[in-house]
Amino acid sequence: MKTNQHTIKKAVTISGIGLHTGVPSTMTFKPAKTNHGFKFQRIDLEGRPTVDADVDNVVDVSRGTTIEQGEARVHTVEHTLAALVGLEIDNVLIEIDGPEPPIMDGSSMDFVRILKEAGVEEQNVPRNFFDVDSAIHYSEPSKNIEIAALPLEDYRLTVMVDYNSPVLGSQYATLNNFAQFEQEIAPCRTFCFLHELEMLYKNNLIKGGDFDNAIVIVDRILSQEEMDRLAKMFNKPSISVQSEGTLNNVELRYKNEPARHKLLDLIGDLALVGQPLRAQILAARPGHAANVAFAKKIKQHLRRVVRNQVPKYDPKLPPVLDINKIASILPHRYPFRLVDKIIYLDENSVVGVKNVTINEPFFEGHFPGNPVMPGVLQIEAMAQTGGILVLNTVDNPEQYWTYFVGIEDCRFKKMVMPCDTLVFKCELLAPVRRGLAKMQGRAFVAGELACEAVMSAVLVKKDK
């Protein structure tokens, strides 16, 4: 698996009709900065609102996965997201001028093709993997659905399906590494059974469905009357079918193409966890509703782990922000610049590093002969780290001051001495509103908690 984040080199566009809405749309993939993730932008709506590809934004799983944020909704996102994950792309803005990505041929292949045409570009920031540290299980006994994530230093998926059908029977599909995705998973098309067609049609779905973008499995003999009715439904002069097989005798690309497509859907739905995963995923009879419920369970586990996790600091890895980039954001200068590097930064949290040396000016007067870093300066260094996080929420951070306005529940747990490396972690406790931010800050030395506090800050725009 790739270790650094990746985006695309240039914008690329693809057009088609939505499977369920039947509405034509044009979708443009655009490069995005590090830690951006996947976002859809409805450019056809007033204000061009965006929808984060996040499991918390899922609002419907009727034969596809639909996400919504504010006034913007995007249907059937799973095939698009699967293509991005399969190519190990992390950061993309997806502009779309309609409610649903184009279905194309019912697979992810056209998305893979256009993304490869754009070119993939490495970014100088490590990927924020979520390593599953213990087994996570999900089940629906009434439907014989079981999904599990097991610890593994890689990402592998195995899917088993059994439709009690003489045409399909039991099938399984596997993905052992992403090098297989383009050839073995991406071309596999969406499908449904004949008996589901009229139900989907009556429920205002598959308005853009056709034999060119979906496989219809026929597991019983059709009368001529039924074939005529189906031909009228799809605006075809006629249709043909073998006694058992696929409607219009569509040839499968793989004998187990349905199982492979279920694996494709699972990859796309699990992208909504919001971080690349390292785990062994085992799924029996998955579907969008179960996939999303499982993704929510993984994210809940992730939040618990992150909340209790001591940040890992590898000095060999390049920082997100080095000392020069920090200087361009924070106004502090010697001797009050107390953060050396930022090693992680997203919309809700930040991790910074301070290397404590005997040359610090405060050691000359603070306990001479027994150098101990003053607690107030530990808090100041933590507040500066949090300032980076707060400034990351505005478009032009250099135009703002960040003032430290409050501190609660401050505790010092461990003395900080020369040669110690302080690792600060600050997390927003609520979204920044009207320039006010509240954060939980913790500082660690060698994996042990040194100090902690709840800090408040305010953003104030500089006078021109």
The distance in angstroms from the start CA to the end CA of the chain is 47
- Rounded distance between C-alpha atoms, residue 142 and residue 105, angstroms: 33
Contact indicator for 102, 27 with CB cutoff of 8 Å: yes
Which of 2, 180, 54, 32 lies closest to 118 in space, CA to CA? 32
Contacts of residue 177, defined as CB under 8 A and 6 or more positions apart, other chains included, come to 1, 154, 156
DSSP 134: S
Q: What angle do CA 308, 314, 319 make, to 5 degrees?
A: 100
How big, in percent rounded to 5, are the helix, strand and coil portions of the chain? 25, 35, 40
- Rounded distance between C-alpha atoms, residue 420 and residue 359, angstroms: 13
Both tokens of 20, joined, read 């369920």
Contact indicator for 155, 178 with CB cutoff of 8 Å: yes
- Rounded distance between C-alpha atoms, residue 38 and residue 18, angstroms: 20
Per the residue annotation, which of 20, 195, 288, 301 is the catalytic one? 288
Alpha-carbon 119 to chain mean position: 20
- Beta pairing, strands 277-284 & 130-131: parallel
Q: Report residue 79: phi and psi, to 5°.
A: -70, -35
- Rounded distance between C-alpha atoms, residue 206 and residue 16, angstroms: 14
What sections of 55-126 are H helices per DSSP? Answer: 78-86, 109-118
In sequence order, what E strands does 258-363 have? 277-284, 341-345, 349-355
Q: Is 20 one of the annotated active-site residues of the chain? A: no
Contacts of residue 145, defined as CB under 8 A and 6 or more positions apart, other chains included, come to 138, 139, 284, 285, 286, 287, 290
Report CA torsion sign: 305, 307, 309, 313. Answer: positive
Q: Is 75 one of the annotated active-site residues of the chain? A: no
Residue 340 region, left (φ>0) first, then alpha (ψ -120 to 50), else beta? alpha
Active site residues: 288, 366
